[in-house]
Structure 1
C-alpha cells in the first residue's frame, strides 16, 4: 500500500436537525487529513436554553457511538480515552441571530481517528416530574 494512503484520514460528519426551537447542524461530507495534522469539525446549534449541553460522539466502522466529551456554559467533561488530543469550545453569543457553535478539534490526527463524528444537544423538553423527554421530529 502506498505510504500516503496509509497516512490518510477520512472523517465524516452527518447533518442532523431537530424540529422545533432547538437545532443542531453539522457540515455534510468528509474531512480528509494527513496524520499529524490538526482537524476541526464544525457543529452549529440553536436553542433557547440558557445553559445548553453539547456532546460529541465518535462512531468507528462496525461499532457503536462512543461518548467523547460534553461542553456546557458552566462545565465540561472528556471521556478518559479522549482527554489528550480532543477538545471543543462552546461558543455562545448574546445576539439571537448569531450562530452558536461547539467545534471539535483533533490534535495530531491519527489513522485511528477515522470515523463518523456526531454532535448532539441535550434534550430540553421536561415534564412536571423532571424526567427528560427527547424531542421527536416526525416526517408528517
Structure 2
C-alpha cells in the first residue's frame, strides 16, 4: 500500500494553482473541469510520478470551521520536505511569501510554517540525518 494522493482545501483553485506552481514550484499533473470546479492536482518536479496533491475546493460547510480552528492554533494542514530550509525560506520570502513560523531548529529537523494564501498553513521541513 502507498499514498497516491492527498489534498488541501483551497478557497480559489486558480489562485491555488498559481501559488503552488509559480511560487512553490510544483507541476500540474491534472487540470480537468468538473462542473464549476476542477480536478486539479500538482506533483513535485523531483518526483513527477509520485504522490499527487489535490487542490480541493473548500466549499463543503465543514471545511471553514476545520481550517479556522487549525489556523487559530497555528497547525499546518500539510508538510513538504525540502533539502535546504534556509535557502527555500530565503527564496520564498523573496517572492513575498508570508511565514507564520520562522525557521526553527528542533534537533532532528528544521522547520518553518508558511501561509499558502489559499486558506492553509503549510510546514516546510528539512530532516537531519540521525546522529550515530
The answer, yes or no, to whether TM exceeds 0.5 is no
Q: Bigger radius of gyration, 1 or 2?
A: 1
TM-score, length of structure 2 as denominator length? 0.27
Greater helix content: 2
Considering Cα pairs closer than 8 Å and 6+ residues apart, tell me whether 1 or 2 has the greater RCO.
Answer: 1
TM-score, length of structure 1 as denominator length? 0.26
